[in-house]
Structures are given as structure tokens and as C-alpha cells.
Structure 1
Amino acid sequence: MPQTHRSTAAGLSRRALGAAVAAGVGLAALGAPALAADDPLKVGFIYVGPVGDFGWSYQHDQGRQAIEAEFGDRVETTYVESVPEGADAERVLTQLAAGGHDLIFATSFGFMNATLKVARRYPDVVFEHATGYKRADNVSTYAARFYEGRYVIGVIAGLMTETDTIGYVGAVPIPEVVRGINAFTQGLRSVNPDATVKVIWVNSWYDPGKEREAAETLVAQGADILTQHTDSPAPVQVAAEKGIYAFGQATDMRQFGPDAHLTAIVDDWSGYYVARTRAVMEGTWESTDTWGGLASGMVAISDYNDALPADVIEAAEAARTAIEAGELHPLAGPLKNQAGEVMIPEGEAPSDEQLLSMDWFVEGVQGQVPK
């Protein structure tokens, strides 16, 4: 059932606005009149996992709560969690649109076609789709350059591993996940050329049982550090139980393994969500495509574990700073695939088009991208 909320605070913070501007949010006029002052904007969210996953959906819900904190009783927010990608997504999106929602955030790649289909039927409703690439007059897309953060944690892994084997729990083999594995591997091998990454796919964004099984298998195969592009804290918990290290996903997961958790890539949607909600309120929303990274604040690195030596933190911060300054591209050439073929020539960086279609692994990855 949809969960509906009203809030009490108001005002747009400088941090939220700054993050949105840095991420490239467009504010040209859509042509719609501004919302009446006494009429709360209804904002809906649809999540692929439970808000208690402490990963992807949890972090998007933090963004929903940021909207409430910024606008108070000027907004009414609704969320529907654990919605499968496909027909169920279309049904839920239709319910939200028909239920009077003015702005709807569809927060998973697999919601893309359902979002476009429902948007065509409700042209007066504004839709925002996370990580997709299909837009319309009333549909924007937005994502974060998670691969930038994965390069940074790859550097940490390369300096901390003793077995030179890193375990990677992969969710669904779409380009977003593949390029993240590749960027992690590039960061890893930039400081430890002998290290390799073993990948096990679970073919799900959130399945604690499968994630745990994959993590345990990777440890049995010699991995002494685990990382993940899945949404439950199960891999971090396995690392804690096995006495090894791990990285959190989407949010700071240290509570699930304080000694094991080295750091996490944190997805911060709050600035974007607040700015886009404000644009709809003011009648200035337009369809845009936003892809922000470390420099924009949409991707962040959580606090480092005290177990990390100073030189490891220094190396990680040097990589993060260089990426933010545009001096380092995590997937710059020469970049070779597993067969040794040059995919990105030396001195070049991949285009966004190449990144968005990446379906191959770099050297140093053990495993295959399912076709």
C-alpha cells in the first residue's frame, strides 16, 4: 500500500540548491503555472526494494524525506516499496498518476518503459526516472556517476588486500553495474597490478539470501575483501563474520560490520530531489538529463575505517580529488578488455555513449558479462 506523509519544515537549503546546480539541473520554463500556495504538491516515489534495505531504496527514501524537511506542509509525499520491474511497476505508476500526484520519481532502471508508457497517458504529470536513458516532454532522467566512487574504493582495496583477490557481488548485468566493476578494477590495479576481481552475479538488486551465498562463495575462493553492487548489507555482514574487509553500497553500512566496513559509496539524491520539486512548484520544470558525480555531491565517500593506514587514506583522497578536478578519468585509456584488445586508446577517455553501453570487462576481472 502507498505510504503518504506530510511534513512541517520549509525552505530550500543552500547545500541542496548547490548540489543540484553542480549536477546540471535545468530550470527553463515548462510553461505550467506555479502551484497555488495553499495547495500541497503531491510527490510520489516508487522503489524496487524495501526502504529498509539500507542500500539503494533506503537512500532514495532519504531524498524523499529531504523534500519533506525542505518544504514542510507545502508537499505531500507518497512511496510504494518493493515494486517488481515490469507490469507491477506500470500498475503502481498508474495508481500514483491517477491519484493526483504532480511529480513522480521512478527510482530503478527497470521502471523505464513503464514510466514512459504511463507518462504518455498522463501528460500533465511530471516524471523523473533514475538511471534510464529514455525521455519525453514530461519525463526527465537522472543518475550518478557511481563508477567514480568505485575507482576510489578500488585504490583502497588494492592497498589493503593480502591475497590479491577481491570478491564482487554483482546485481544485474546492465552497463551501470559493468562500468562500476571496471572502474573498481582500474583503481585496484593502479596500485596493485597483480590483484584480480572475482564477480558473482545474483541477478537481483535486493536478495539478502543470494547476496550472502555469493559473498560466502567469494571468500571460499580466496577473496579477503568484498564489495558489491547489490542493496542489502549481507556482504558486509559476511565480511564481519569472516574477519575480512568490505565496502558498503549506496549508503554507509558500518553498523552491520564496524570492524569490516572500510568505507562506502554513498548516493546523495537530496539536492536533486529538492531542486526538482521546487521547479515543479514554481512552474519552471523541464525535461533534462542529469549525470552527476563526486564533484556534484551526488556521489560521496563515507567516513574511513580507523583501521585504514594514513598512506592508504592519502592515496584514496588523491584519487578522489583528481577525479573531482577532472584530472583523472577512472576509465581512461589505454583500456583493454579481457581478451587484451584495446577498447579505449591511450590518451583518450570514453565518451558518455561508450560508458552507457559498456558490456565488457577490463583485464583483471574474472567472470563474464552475461549476454
Structure 2
Amino acid sequence: MHQNLRRATTLWAAAAVCSPLLFNSVSATAQTTVPTAPPLKIGFIYVSPVGQAGWTFQHDQGRRELEQALGAQVSTTVVEAVPEGPDAERVMRDLVAQGHQLIFATSFGYLEPALRVAAEFPHVKFMHAGGHRGAPNLATYNARYYEARYLAGMLAGYTSQRGVAGYVAGFAVPEVVQGLNAFTRGMRAVNPKAEVKVTWLNAWFDPARERDAALALVAQGADVLANHSGSPAVAQVAEEKGVKLVAYQSDMRAFAPKAQVGAVTHHWGSYYTQVARSVLNGTWSAQPVWAGMKAGMVKLSAVSPSLPAQVRDALARSERDIVAGRLLPFGTMSDEQIARMDGLVPGVSGHMPANARR
């Protein structure tokens, strides 16, 4: 068993059913124990510790909701802080060897290892977050984070006094580029002269570097911060420096109670429950999923009640328009074009890194 493995299981008592049987006017009672099916073993692989907020925390909240919904029908295993690459492949093989029938690989860099392991074990179902290629027993899933990012940019535009936002970004993969561009478009919808300064980490989770990047952006004039990274470090810098924060992944008010004006939050519980149910009832398919605000996978949450009513009303109207399909953050671009996005829109101050990942 992998050294980072921890089990999270729910055990319920099996039910005994008593049935009255009648034979020639003689009443007798026979007790029959209904056999319970073994639980579906589900593995979750995380790129960082669960912690108290962030990317992995939200996926683990989804796992917990799945357990609550399905009870004794499932048994889940969590493996935390697994680097992308060979370690991820070893962990997947460990989970298969332990009898897991459904495995969620929740980081972009887990795709290639997942494809290799899936090819060897066709009886196991794999789910990969953010991937662009599947297999008969590997489905990809993702949220249209950029929809809520557009609203987050609007919020930044309304709250920034200088018209300058700082954006701490992980890797330059399409998902991150989409979010940065949508944020910038949203901010410029409010302030056409707004500027979004971006710093690339080339890491998903590195609290020290996230902090350094946020401090540098504030020093460069940003009075509102946003991020696509895995720890609360950016939120903590916003609180310390007295600038505004539009948080990402989780509601970060625990770390930035004064700074946060809203948060783009991820919600996986309903989807994870749906996937597990489909495996249990034999209807699972490898159909990719890319859902957004309408499906509830991503939301603009915790909008500060201290904001002017007209700001909150404008955000609510734009949210309704996005859900209804009347407002498209990227206009007439096709899903295929959005999925392959690899350039920056006007208003972003910075460049795509030379080692951008596709």
C-alpha cells in the first residue's frame, strides 16, 4: 500500500428480513438474511495535501458528498500529494491491485499515466480531471471555470481603484489560459482600460512561490488579486497587504476575511455521485463531460454583501445571462477553439511561458 494512502470507508449493518410463511394453516416464520453486495471501491488521487481550501480540498469535499449520498454502496480511498509522472502511475497500479474499480485522477498531469494503466486494466473505470484524450475505460471531465472567471473579472473591475489586477497562475495549460483571458475580458467589460498582470509559477501547489508572486504583483501596483494555484497563500497576501481578493477554487474568507470580495468555487459532489451510481448500475460510459455554471460545477460564491447594490445586481444579471447562454465570455469561439486556447487577450500584461503545456 502506498505510504500516503488513507482509507475513508462507511460501514453499515446488513439488514435481516423476517418473512412469515404459511403451510396448511400452520404459521411459521423464517428469517432470511439478504446478502449485501460488496461496496464499490473508489480511489481518489490528489496532487497536493487536502488542506483546508483549494483545488484538492474541493475534490475531497466532492468525495465526502459522494460517500454521504451512497453510504454502504461505496468505499473510498484517498492518496494525497502524489506528483505528476511516475509516482502517479505507481499509485494507480497500487489502487488497481487493491481492488478499486473506479479511480479519479484529479490533476492535469495524471493523464498519460492514467491512459497507460487504463489500457492494461480494461475492467477498471478511470476518470481524469481536465484531460483532452480518453479511452474505452477512461473518461475525462472538467468544468467551464472560465464562465465564473468572467464574473470574477467583472467583480475585480468594480472593486479595483487602480484598474490593475494581479494574477498568480500555475501552468500555462488551456484551462488556466481560458480563466485568465475570461477574467481579463470581464474586468475590461467594466473598465476598458483595466490591466491584468500575470505571473506564471510552473507549479500547481507551491505556497512559498505563490506568496512571493502575489507580493511582487502588489508591489507592481495590483490592488486586487486572483489566482489559479493550489494554496491559500495568495489570499493571505491580499489580507496582509490590504488589497482585494477574488478567490479561486474555495471560499477563502477563513484566510482573507477583509480582503475577499467573492470567490470562484468548484463543486464536485453531485457529479462524483452521478459517476459512482452509473458504475453501480452498469450505465457508465467514457463520454467526456465539460459542464459549467448551469450544471452547478462552478459558481461565483460569497459575493460581499458590502458591495453596492448596483454591483451585485449587475453580477447577478450577467450570471443569469451566462447560464441562459445569452452571454458568452469568448463570443463565437467554438468549444474546440476554447479547449485549445493558447494565446492571451488584450489587457493581459505578460507572456505565455516558453514551456507552456498542451
More divergent stretch after superposition (311-320 vs 185-194) = 311-320
Match of residue 177 from structure 1 = 176
CA displacement, residues 54-76 of structure 1 (integer Å, 9 cap, x when unaligned): 10000000111111101112211
Assess if the C-alpha contact under 8 Å between 2:41 and 2:101 holds in 1: yes
State the one-letter code of the partner of 2:42. Answer: V
**For residue 10 of structure 2, what is the amino acid of its counterpart?**
S
For 2:36 and 2:289, locate their aligned partners in 1 and report how far apart those are by CA, in whole Å: 28
User: 2:310 corresponds to which residue?
Assistant: 311
Q: Of the candidates 3, 6, 14, which is equivalent to residue 3 of structure 1?
A: 6
Change (3 A) 1:246 1:102: same
Percent sequence identity over matched residues? Answer: 48
Shift of 1:9: 8.1
With normalisation by structure 1, the TM-score equals 0.87
1:364 matched residue in structure 2: 347
Structure with bigger strand share is 2
Q: 2:121 corresponds to which residue?
A: 122
Would the aligned equivalents of 1:9 and 1:70 in 2 still touch at CA under 8 Å?
no
Alpha-carbon distance between aligned partners in 2 of 1:56 and 1:173, rounded to the nearest angstrom: 16
Please say if residues 131 and 140 of structure 2, whose CA atoms lie closer than 8 Å, have aligned partners that are also in contact: yes
How far apart in 2 are the matches of 1:224 and 1:311?
A: 21
Quote the residue 1:13 is aligned against: none
Distance 2:312 2:36 in 1: 49
Distance (whole Å) between structure 1 residues aligned to residue 297 and residue 12 of structure 2: 23
Mapping 1:199-348, distance limit 5 Å: 199-332=198-331
- Secondary structure of the 1:256 match is coil
Residues 314-371 of structure 1 show CA distances to partners (whole Å, capped at 9, x for unaligned) of 1111111110000010011xxxxxxxxxxxxxxxx11111111111000000000113
Q: CA distance change for structure 1 residues 306 and 9 in 2, over 3 Å: closer, same or farther?
A: farther
Q: Larger Rg: 1 or 2?
A: 2
Q: Secondary structure at the match of 2:254?
A: helix
TM-score (ref. length: structure 2): 0.90
* Number of aligned positions between the proteins: 330
Q: What pairs with 1:52-131 in structure 2 (closer than 5 Å)?
A: 52=51, 54-131=53-130
Give 1:264's aligned amino acid: A
Aligned counterparts of 1:62 and 1:291: Cα–Cα separation in 2? 20
Distance (whole Å) between structure 2 residues aligned to residue 127 and residue 302 of structure 1: 30
Measured in 1, the distance between the counterparts of 2:334 and 2:57 equals: 31
Rounded to whole Å, the distance in 2 between the matches of 1:251 and 1:111 is: 22
| Runs (4+) off by over 3 Å | none
Residue 259 of structure 1 contacts residue 305 of structure 1 at CA under 8 Å; is this kept in 2? Answer: no
Deviations 1:164-220 (Å, cap 9, x if unpaired)?
Answer: 110000111111101110000000001100110000011111111000000000000
Q: CA deviation at 1:309?
A: 1.5
Rounded to whole Å, the distance in 1 between the matches of 2:231 and 2:71 is 30
Q: Structure 1 CA distance, aligned partners of 2:8 and 2:168? A: 34
Give the distance between the partners of 1:97 and 1:148, measured in 2 at CA.
Answer: 36
Alpha-carbon distance in 2 for matches of 1:172, 1:53? 22
Structure 1 stretches of 5 or more lacking a match? Answer: 11-35, 333-348
**Contact 2:200 / 2:353 at 8 angstroms: preserved in 1?**
no
SS of the residue 1:214 aligns to: helix
1:171–1:202: 8 Å Cα contact kept in structure 2?
yes
Which amino acid counterpart does residue 54 of structure 2 have in structure 1? G
1:355 to 338, 341, 344: 338
Q: Which amino acid aligns with 1:357?
A: R
Separation in structure 2 between the aligned mates of residue 8 and residue 87 of structure 1, nearest angstrom:
33
Supply the distance in 1 between the matched residues of 2:187 and 2:181 (Cα, whole angstroms): 10
CA distance in 1, matches of 2:138, 2:122: 9
Q: What's the C-alpha RMSD, in Å, of the aligned pairs?
A: 1.3
